[in-house]
Structure 1
Amino acid sequence: MKMSDFFIASKLNIDSSRNASLVDPIQYANTTEPELYVLLDEGLSPKQITALSSFIHRRLEVTVPLTILSVLPFFPTSKDLAKDVVNFYSKNAIDLSEYIKPNSKIITMGRSIYSITHSDVLNAKSFYDIVFNKQYFYAPKLKSYIFPIDAFKIWFNRDSFEKYFALTQLKNAYEFKLELKRIAKPILKYVEDPNAFLSLHSLLKHEVSLDLETTGLDYFKNKIGCITLSFNGKISYYLDWNKIDIEILNNFLKDRFLIGANLKFDVKFLIHNGVNKESIKIGFDTLQGSHILNEMSSNSLEANAWLYTNYGGYDKGLHDYIKRYPSAKKNYMKIPFDIRFPYATMDAISSYQVYKKQQEQMDWIDKQFPMNNDWSLNRYYKEIVIPNLNTFVDIEMRGIHINKEKLDSVSNEIKNLIQKAKDNIYKEFNTTEKKLDIASGKELGIFLEHNLRWPCIERTKVKENFYLANENCLKKWKNKGYVGADLILKYRELTTLYNTFLGNEKENSGMYQHIKNDGKIYPNYGVMITNSHRNKCSRPNFQNQPQHGTYAKLIKSIYDVPNKDYVFGVVDFKGLQLR
């Protein structure tokens, strides 16, 4: 069947160079009133389309009123899919609303989901958990429900989890009971007098979702532009930061149950700008909430808005602007107000709604899967995760003192050792730095094979197929008695230490780039955010300290204590882990 049998053909704005590969978006249709749509992310042959449609009918044990659509009006090439795939699908996808009626059920295969979300925050893996999480999300523009699965070539005719998941999703979508949604339009308000507003709302300590827009990510050098607040997930208020009296804000925040997404970021900005740290505590963070509920999905607010609210994609206007003006990504306050205002206020509404849904989900899990002790998911989140989150706000803002003189001294010492290590390598290999860049894995691999005739341990899989010279290969050469391998390993150990923990002050590299004007570093922790619920650390990664070896003590000597009343201590908690 052709598109003209059911629809009026839309005008496709496609580069004329693609005319030879233009395709009818409707690849299969057996009805004018489909109960199920399947979206393809790349071209399938007529034989594959027939096999797919037959598979769906057979597995569901019924001839499903079905339409299979290609989201692209042409077959993408490997070059098309080489980079910035999300933008490619977002830019070139057909207008799905011309082909899909509202209140429909849609299976997205592979990357076709990008034609709906215009983002990579969701994919099939986000929905793999079929026990604790739902397997669909609502797309407000299409007013329809989306059930993602993997790309055709990943699961079709294979015995794999991906195939099992695809079958589960087909059944979920087909059996899903559609209900017409009446989605309330969010009320977004600009507050002319923030202090009067905050004073009025200080009388009742309602829970509130809070979000900031700032001029950057560093609370030491960047500024707050606005605060947005929502008390019910329906109405959001935009408060200009420059109009706010800090004491009034302190009174508003005191004893308040605060809700947000990555709220630690906002809290640190507020404390640095005068808010009393005793007045502000995180009550619920949707980032940590989504992590304990579904580790396979993104925990960003953008992803959670799709998963838990009816407003997924509300930030598209902002992302479109940033695509045109990339520098705005570093400073949201440079984004025009008519774009920034709805985005910022919707952040607060989405955070509140996500919080409510995540709390409902935790309650449901605790009821459906009770534990045989006093613990529950709610208790773990409220008594372990949230207190840790608040503790790390304090830890991060205290910072760590750096002994600048010691850093300079150790940096120069290691730099000299690196030069000696290089000299020893060139002497051993009877060559010079002009002829061999030992920092280049490719040059080193070629040199070891063709100049030194070392035996092959492993080759690269790229076209040139030269020797691999990674740590594993070097250790094997060392064990075979090749002295140069040990010299290269020593050189790499030193350069790693130098680049990671020391660096160059003039180049603002290594540790120097993280030192603030007060002489301290302020590592950022992802609290209980790994799959094992350990912490992550970045800018710099203070958790990754050398523990053993010749240089461990030397590297640690660059860290200092505030005064003589303090000492550094090291505690190893490995023994507490179940192994």
Structure 2
Amino acid sequence: MSKTVTVIDTFGFFFRSFYALPQYLKNRDGFPTGLLTGFINFISTLQKQHDSDYLIFAIDSVGPTFRNEIDSNYKAHRKAPPEELTMQLPIAIEWIDKMGYKTLGKVGYEADDMIATIVHFAKEKNYNVRVVSHDKDLFQLIDDGKVVLVDPIKKKVMDEEGCLDKYGITPKQFIDYQAILGDSADNIPGVKGIGKIGAQKLLAEYGSLDNIYANIENIKPPGLQKKLIESKYAAYMSKKLVTLKHDVLENFDFEEYKMDVEHPFLNIYDELVKYEQNGILRTLHAKNMVSHETHQEAVKKIEKEIQNSKKLDFKTILLTNAKELDRILSFIDKDTIIAFDTETTGLDYENDSLVGFSFSFNNTESYYVPVAHFYLGVPEQISRDDAAKAIRKIFDSKVVGHNIKFDLHFVSRFLNDDSLSIFADSMILAWLVNPENALSLDKLADKLLNHKMISYKDTVKKGETFAAVELEDACRYAAEDAIVTLKLYRLLLKELELQNAAHLIQEALEVEFPFIKTLLKMEKEGIEVNSSFLEQFLVEVKDTLNRLTKDIYKLAGREFNINSTQQLGVILFEELELPTGKKTKTGYSTNEQVLNSLKDEHKIISYLLEYREVYKLSSTYIEPLLKLSHEDKKSRIHTSFVQTGTATGRLSSKNPNLQNIPTRTELGTKIREAFVAGKSKKLIGIDYSQIELRLLAHFSQDKVLIDAFNHDRDIHMQTAIALFGEEEASEKRNIAKTVNFGLLYGMGQKKLSDTLGITTKEAKEIIEKYFNSFPTVRAYFRSIVDFSKEFGYIETILKRRRYFDYENASQMLKAAYERESVNSVFQGSVSDIIKLSMNKIHKTIVDEDLKAKMLLQIHDELIFEVDEAEAEVLGERFKEIMESITELKIPLKASLNIGDNWSELK
């Protein structure tokens, strides 16, 4: 599902809120609060909807804009806003920052231009955009399926149809409509004497302003023609004034505006009390009520907890004396909860090294121990031996870290000891509280503790490492990390209790935290790559690219930069004159969807598609893998697994990403050939068979599905028989397979019709027939949706949660929630089961010192490297663990393959 960006026309929204709510709203000091109340209500609604990935507050800049250079009269006579409004504005703007959100503005431009620029970048990424505004100037941005306007007061969504109903023209005509009509409020002249009806009629007949003037001699009556001729200059100047700039910024990083839905109001709690925002205060208190306590007791308790969570008065203490370090550590024992963090020369645990470490075990002090700082005049530091002794002492206690897997890589290498135990990870706790949280330490501190952390870039000079940071500066930065981790750990445990999800604390202790060690071991092991094979493959790929390049040049009639979308657009749509949509400022779109739609138009298209596939695999996989293999002494690739990278719980991997190598292409298969077993070793691949469908049978208790799996029947054939009958079942098994898996992941009739190349009517009939054949499945899907609507979340097989809120959601959003709620149950449960299997296999390997290494997890498959002589025995043993890891109403099945390289495991 595409990500969603919500952009707020900030001042427009504030003005609208001010006039929408009663002007008599004031606090006990007589300060007006209507605007503030509207703003808080709006943010509260956003929090409930959970329907945005990014939230941006677009603001106007102070002073004149480029439009004043076009016409000095632009907005020249606007009245000053009421004093009650201007009193509240700075407070509301300050709240945006305090709550953890961000504004976006630029000198010389208006908020509308910032919004148009955001829309431009969002479309490039195929994101959906919701523009919160009632400003008609923004109607020009509406693009069905991508950009809509939302009126937060009337709770109305405006799309192309709404624009047509309201103004009688399409969004694409809106600029020309405003150019003709003008706007007296902004001193935009337009065409004098032509109103809304006249503008509508002209655009309905001629389509655009340019076409109106191109046909000026044909326009009747003569009076209308005269008005247009006399106001031509004004019309085109007006068009310049109303046209929004979408290129204000050269680039835009949406990740800086990621929406974290966790408790923004805690950061302005005192001000909510001051301005008597009692509605949201009651909500905060109610949500944090603990069972079996009176309301008043709960309110007092929560108020105290909130205040305590905002207190971060602590001392940072530099420890450079071994005796003092030993004295401080004498206060901890095996039951002490102690936060721990490392500082290193970089992020590469294979090649970078430990510089120092910090720790904290109370709310008032945090310590930094420098070990390997290196600069002119550096004072004496703790010796390597004393540091090692201290770290071992710390890890004999209950160690908590934030993304502690990173720290473990460095300290385990520093100590040459893989047996260190950990107690908890605050990043994983934050993920369990809400799997769509922003999880970095600084963002969580900002959100939950109202504390701005010292930034790395302000501590470490560009081009240097942490080793060059002076000890006092290093202490302030590093010790802060430790105590913030400790505070977050305690606060997040409370958050889980307040969500009535205390069972997830136990899930974390039994599954998620042990899984850190499982992944740590896998990352350290890495997987061997055949460098010579990759080198030869790269030569072949470059030859293929050279051949394709020559073919493309020949078909194009000249040479050009094939990787330049602008140059390619000119070749395809201007020189070869292939059909295309409207040209934009950045050129023609030449994405994969566009090229696929042109397959039958010209022979060059198939060559371009092949070129892109080969080029992407070369640049994304072959060249980076070859580089990484050369950097490792044993030619092993060490990917990093991200435990908290998805809302469903599925693992992701990075540096490099080994989970996205194409599976169904010849080139993807050949890349897998490069991943090999070491000398006298074999690779083992064990892949869960149809695990999602088995979970469907288990959860739904559908008799037909349970019977099919219990008797080991071909489930896709059974479905094909149910849908198409015995005679057609064999030839239509693949259709049945698509339906089986597609419905689990929210595939509707449109997607099914596109996938199978059939009409939507036929797709609808197939889906209906499926649910009629498996009525219990339909009822089960419905039960998931009903549960998510009633309780606001779904649960996986291990009771992990993903949160949804249907309140105030559009019909489109509700449909998306329904699909994702079903999808999340299955994807999340699959990830739970694989984690359980991986943890048990890892423990078995370590406890019994087996000659085996778990290397990779790729979706439903685990890959191992084992001694050749024990491959069959160990493969069967690991397969048995995977099949028996949890008890379902039907058996779990896995397939076992053994080979010399990854491609042989399928």
TM value normalised by structure 2: 0.45
2:31 to 40, 52, 65: 65
Question: How far does residue 540 in structure 1 lie from its aligned partner after superposition?
Answer: 0.3
What pairs up with 1:263-412 in 2 under 5 angstroms? Answer: 263-278=404-419, 280-309=420-449, 312-315=451-454, 319-321=457-459, 325-328=461-464, 331-365=465-499, 368=500, 376-412=503-539
- Residues 1:487 and 2:611 are matched in the alignment: no
Q: Deviations over 1:55-109 (max 9, x none)?
A: 4546979887237899999627889xxxxxxxxxxxxxxxxxxx99xxxx97756
1:260 Cα offset (Å): 1.1
Q: How does 1:227-238 map to 2 (within 5 A)?
A: 227-238=357-368
**How far apart, CA to CA, are the structure 2 residues paired with 1:78 and 1:251?**
62
**Structure 1 residue 553 corresponds to structure 2 residue 694:** no
SS at match of 1:356: helix
1:75 aligns with 2:215: no
Q: Which residue number in structure 2 is paired with residue 209 of structure 1?
A: 339
Residues 270 and 251 (structure 1), Cα distance of their counterparts in 2 relative to 1, 3 Å cut: closer
**Conserved 8 A contact 1:121-1:303:** no
Which residue of structure 2 lines up, in the alignment, with residue 536 of structure 1?
652
Q: Is the contact between residue 326 and residue 390 of structure 2 (CA under 8 Å) also seen in structure 1?
A: no
Q: Which amino acid aligns with 1:193?
A: N
Counterparts of residues 188-203 of structure 1 (less than 5 Å): 188-194=316-322, 196-197=326-327, 200=330
C-alpha separation between the residues in 2 aligned to 1:59 and 1:404?
A: 75
Query: Could you tell me how far 1:181 is from its partner in structure 2?
Result: 5.5
State the alpha-carbon separation in 2 of the partners of residues 335 and 495 from structure 1. Answer: 42
Q: What are the superposed Cα offsets for residues 5-34 of structure 1, whole Å, 9 maximum, x if unpaired?
A: xxxxxxxxxxxxxxxxxxxxxxxxxxxxxx
Corresponding residue number in structure 1 for 2:753: none
Alpha-carbon distance in 1 for matches of 2:594, 2:257: 37
Select which of 602, 627, 632 maps to 1:512. 627
Q: Alpha-carbon deviations, 1:471-519, whole Å to 9, x = none?
A: 11211211x252211111111111111111111xxxxx45414642332
CA distance in 1, matches of 2:668, 2:552: 24
Does 1:223 find its partner at 2:350? no
Higher helix share: 2
Per the TM alignment, residue 401 of structure 1 is displaced from its structure 2 partner at its CA by: 1.0
CA distance in 1, matches of 2:389, 2:507: 34
Provide the residue aligned with 1:256 in structure 2. Answer: 397
Tell me by how many angstroms 1:275 deviates: 4.2
CA contact 2:342–2:407 (8 Å) conserved in 1:
yes
Counterpart contact for 1:137–1:146, Cα < 8 Å: no
Matches within 5 A, 1:134-149: 134-138=263-267, 144=270
Corresponding residue for 1:19? none
* DSSP 3-state at the match of 2:578: coil
* In structure 1, C-alpha distance between the alignment counterparts of 2:349 and 2:272, rounded to whole Å: 39
CA shift, 1:525, in A, is 1.1
Assess if the C-alpha contact under 8 Å between 2:340 and 2:482 holds in 1: yes
Moved more, 547-556 or 334-343: 334-343
Which residue type is aligned with residue 17 of structure 2? L
Q: Structure 2 counterpart of 1:313, which letter? A: K
Match of 2:17 among 46, 52, 57: 52
CA distance, structure 2, for counterparts of residue 117 and residue 353 of structure 1: 28
Counterpart among 579, 591, 594 of residue 455 in structure 1: 579
How far apart in 1 are the matches of 2:604 and 2:278?
55
**Residues 285 and 355, structure 1, Cα contact 8 Å, conserved in 2:** yes
Q: Are the equivalent residues in 2 in contact too, given 1:233–1:348 (CA < 8 A)?
A: no
Q: Tell me the SS of whatever aligns to 1:537.
A: strand
Identity %: 19
Name the CA shift for 1:535/1:146 in 2 (closer, same or farther; >3 Å): farther
CA distances 1:179-229 after superposition (whole Å, capped 9, x unpaired): 796846313222233463587367545221101111111122222111101
* RMSD over aligned Cα atoms: 4.3
- Distance in 2 between residues matched to 1:65 and 1:136, nearest whole Å: 20
| CA distance 1:309–1:387, change in 2 (3 Å) | same
TM-score by length of 1: 0.69
User: Which of 1 and 2 has greater Rg?
Assistant: 2
Deviation at 1:43, TM superposition (A): 7.9
Q: 1:470 aligns with which of 591, 607, 612?
A: 591
- Cα deviations across residues 447-494 of structure 1 (Å, max 9, x unaligned)? 1112212122x445x32543x22111211211x252211111111111
CA contact (8 A) 1:113 1:123 kept: no
Distance verdict in 2 for CA 1:284–1:112, change over 3 Å? closer
Please report how far the alpha carbon of residue 343 of structure 1 lies from its aligned counterpart in structure 2 after TM superposition.
Answer: 1.6
TM-aligned CA distance change 1:465 to 1:138, over 3 Å: closer
**Secondary structure of 1:414's match?**
helix
Residue aligning to 1:444: 568
Distance 1:490 1:74, change over 3 A: closer
Q: Kindly provide the amino acid, as one letter, of the partner of residue 516 in structure 1.
A: D
**Pairwise CA distance, 1:416:** 1.1
SS of residue paired to 1:425: helix
Structure 2: how far apart are the matches of 1:49 and 1:296? Answer: 28
- Residues 199 and 248, structure 1, Cα contact 8 Å, conserved in 2: no
1:144: how far off? 4.7
